[in-house]
Structure 1
């Protein structure tokens, strides 16, 4: 059986890994409530299993952080990625112009906004 101090420590470690939320009962996520109920229940929660799951959660958070850090263009659209790639090698993309008129009959291309 795990000591209450060790279980409290594991519970707090889980809370640190989860996204922060205000401290009120209604704002607790279902995952927070499930973890709290599991640890607080009288059932013999295997301490090794809880620690292993905690290591898994920490590894997943670190993986997401590293993925975001080393693949910064992952969430960008293609146009923005191309523009930043050109800037990286010291070039600027040319300004785009619409083909056709502005509707005034002049026939000149107008600058895209």
Structure 2
């Protein structure tokens, strides 16, 4: 059974939900948005066979699940590894503060740290 237009719209919307949002809705669509839109519109108008359109719909659902999982993975990674984006000096300073120590003030090479 070929997927209906409503099912294809649902898949398209779930894919768009997982992609990064556009900053301004009036800005032009990204190439990925355009490609998704073309693929969904051609799938709904021209169906070479029911099996092929079902396979494309299943691939779209799998892609949506994959993108959702990747988004959750990145969120969890950022939550449980907060020092990931810091440089080594800052990470050491915060680790020392965590155990109740302050690093000494370094003087040298023309810079003063407080």
- Using structure 1 for the length normalisation, give the TM-score: 0.80
- Structure with bigger RCO (C-alpha 8 Å, 6+ apart): 2
* Distance in 2 between residues matched to 1:38 and 1:12, nearest whole Å: 13
Q: Could you say which residue in structure 1 is the equivalent of 2:26?
A: 24
Supply the distance in 2 between the matched residues of 1:67 and 1:90 (Cα, whole angstroms): 26
Distance in 1 (alpha carbons) for counterparts of 2:70 and 2:106: 42
CA contact (8 A) 2:18 2:67 kept: yes
Partner of 2:50: none
Structure 1 unaligned spans of 5+: 103-110
Structure with max Cα Rg: 1
RMSD of Structure 2 on Structure 1 (CA)? 1.9
- How far did 1:30 drift? 1.0
Contact residue 93 and residue 103 of structure 2 kept, 8 A: yes
Comparing both structures, which one devotes a greater share of its residues to helix? 2
Equivalenced residue count is 102
1:54-110 CA-partner distances (Å, limit 9, x unpaired): 1011111111111111111111100000011011111111111127xx8xxxxxxxx
Q: Structure 2 length normalisation: TM-score? A: 0.80
- Distance, in Å, in 2 between the alignment partners of 1:85 and 1:30 is 43
Q: Residue 55 in 1 paired to residue 61 in 2?
A: no
Structure 1 Cα separation of the partners of residues 98 and 40 of structure 2: 50
In the TM superposition, residue 24 of structure 1 has moved relative to its aligned partner by: 2.8
Which of 57, 63, 82 is residue 72 of structure 1 equivalent to?
Answer: 82
